[in-house]
Amino acid sequence: MLNIVLFGPPGAGKGTQSTMIQEKYALKHISTGDLFRYHLSQGTELGLLAKKYSAEGGLVPDQVTIDMLKEEISKYPSVNGFIFDGFPRTTPQAEALDNLLASMGTAVSTMLALEVPEEELKVRLEGRAQTSGRADDADPKVIQNRIDTYNRETKPVKDFYQAQGKLKEINGLGSIDAITDRLYSAIDSI
Ligand code: AMP
């Protein structure tokens, strides 16, 4: 299997680029943020719980997120692989993903980390608010919290994959197509 962790701060382009990658390599795209938003739209208990954290720009607790991811993965027993978008966001989540994939006889193939400076992220997220309909894109305070949460809790996940020799940093500035090409080259070089 080809299992890709597409990593980066909020606004780095993970969702957009995941769509391109999933098509080219026939992977199943799993976005934990999309899953939480789906649950919220359905008014489930999980959706309401997630909203408490995401509305402020914080992270949903690890065990809740990991359980949701496990359930989602189990729905796709015969895919070529997965592209994980927005997961793992903490080191315990990364450990849980390793264990889960190991139990399936597979592993993370690579982490592709999109690098985008903070000022550019803010510009992108404020622009995205016009079309995304996401409350957490609309409020500059929440955007700042999401970036701070990334720096504090999520960035260390890079070290986890670097220690395994799986980290590839990708310049996340430029046109969407240029960034897609960089990601394809990184995947093809595995
Ligand atoms: P995203 O669409 O990836 O920006 O995620 C939106 C929000 O969902 C985040 O700000 C978090 O509150 C929550 N979320 C998504 N993925 C995770 C995760 N892996 N761990 C914890 N919370 C998450």
From CA 152, how far away is CA 155, in angstroms rounded?
A: 7
The active-site residue, picked from 28, 51, 134, 166, is 134
**Six-digit token string for 60:** 């949903």
What's the whole-model pTM score? 0.97
Count of C-beta atoms within a 10 Å radius of residue 135? 12
Tokens of residue 104, six digits: 């399936």
The answer to whether 32 and 64 are in contact (CB under 8 A) is no
Q: Is 89 annotated in the active site?
A: yes
89 Cα distance to chain centroid: 7
Ligand 1 pocket, CB under 6 A: 10, 32-33, 36, 53-54, 57-60, 65, 86-87, 89, 93, 136, 146
182 membership: H or E segment, kind and range: helix 176-188
pLDDT in tens, the chain (190 residues): 999 999 999 999 999 999 999 999 999 999 999 999 999 999 999 999 999 999 999 999 999 999 999 999 999 999 999 999 999 999 999 999 999 999 999 999 999 999 999 999 999 999 999 999 999 999 999 999 999 999 999 999 999 999 999 999 999 999 999 999 999 999 999 9
